[in-house]
């Protein structure tokens, strides 16, 4: 392949563009405002990037697929397997299903200051989930499992909010998590984690 001619052509194009750009008359005041808006955009992008690094905000690491239409038949997200589970290595896993217009189970209790792996699936359309004061914020795309590990900093009631428009009842789609002190929390009886990833 001939790289040189292509490179020259690109350079020529760029030069033409630059000359033409320099030729455009931009008012002094306009120039000032363009600079200000560029700086503001740069500042916001910078804040988001730094915040993402420090608070560990990142897209779910694994892309796991699941058949949204037959969740009730799947082992992992069958009704009696939802909610909080603790495996023999004391890893806390929460499985929840999002559907118009709620999160199931509607209410769960988890310990504070403990890493909790939350696994979400949607049974119908695209939903989102956001838990204020934690790094828990993700899309729940039908056909995929969304997984995030988070820690609730202190006991209290935490709202679970849908943050992707999913229909007329979107603004009523919420649920809540009761976070209680680590020492007061008791693992639920049935603690046989079935399916999904096992966190070694
Ligand atoms: Cu579910 Cu908005």
What domains appear along the chain, each with residue ranges and CATH number? 3-54 (no CATH), 64-184 (2.60.40.420)
What is the distance in A from the centroid of ligand 1 to the CA of 173?
6
- In sequence order, what DSSP letters do the residues of 42-80 get, joined into one string? HHHHHHHHHHHHHTT----S--EE--GGGGGGSSTTSGG
Structure confidence by residue, pLDDT tens digits, 151-170: 998 999 999 999 999 999 99
For tokens 């790094």, name the residue: 135
pLDDT value at residue 2: 67
pLDDT of residue 200: 33
Closest-CA residue, ligand 1 atom 1, reads 127
Distance of CA 162 to the CA centre of its chain: 11
> Which structure tokens are listed for 16?
């033409």
pLDDT of residue 199: 38
**β 83-86/92-99 pair status:** antiparallel
Question: What span, in angstroms and rounded, lies between the C-alpha atoms of 77 and 71?
Answer: 6
Residue 91 CA to ligand 1 center (angstroms) comes to 28
Q: What percent of the chain is modeled with pLDDT above 90?
A: 50
CA 168 to ligand 1 center in whole angstroms = 9
Could you report the per-residue pLDDT of 87-122, keeping only the tens digit for each? 888 889 999 999 999 999 989 999 999 999 999 999
Rounded to two decimals, the pTM is: 0.65
| pLDDT the model gives residue 198 | 40
Is residue 146 a contact partner of residue 59, using CB atoms and an 8 Å limit? Answer: no
**CA atoms of 112 and 110, how far apart (whole Å):** 7
Q: What is the CA(95)–ligand 1 centre distance, in A?
A: 17
Residues with C-beta less than 6 Å from any ligand 1 atom: 127, 162, 164-166, 170, 173
Q: What percent of the chain has pLDDT over 70?
A: 90
Average pLDDT, the chain: 86
Give me the residue label for tokens 């058949």: 67
Closest Cα partner for 76 from 64, 59, 89?
64
How far apart CA 163 and CA 143 sit, in angstroms, is: 18
Q: What pLDDT was estimated at residue 188? A: 77
């Amino acid at each position: 392949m001939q790289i040189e001619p292509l490179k020259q052509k690109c350079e020529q194009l760029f030069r033409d563009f630059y000359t033409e750009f320099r030729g455009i008359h931009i008012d002094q005041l306009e120039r000032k405002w363009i600079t200000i808006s560029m700086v503001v955009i740069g500042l916001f992008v910078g804040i988001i990037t730094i915040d993402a690094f420090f608070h560990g905000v990142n897209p779910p690491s694994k892309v796991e697929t699941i058949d949204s239409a037959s969740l009730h038949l799947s082992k992992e997200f069958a009704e009696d397997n939802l909610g909080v589970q603790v495996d023999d290595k004391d890893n806390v896993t929460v499985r929840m299903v999002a559907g118009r217009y709620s999160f199931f189970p509607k209410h769960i209790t988890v310990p504070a200051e403990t890493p909790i792996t939350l696994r979400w699936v949607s049974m119908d359309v695209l939903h989102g989930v956001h838990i204020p004061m934690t790094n828990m914020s993700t899309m729940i795309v039908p056909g995929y499992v969304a997984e995030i590990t988070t820690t609730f900093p202190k006991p209290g009631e935490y709202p679970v909010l849908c943050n992707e428009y999913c229909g007329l009842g979107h603004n009523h789609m919420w649920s809540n998590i009761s976070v209680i002190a680590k020492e007061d929390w008791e693992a639920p009886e049935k603690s046989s984690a079935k399916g999904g990833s096992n966190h070694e």
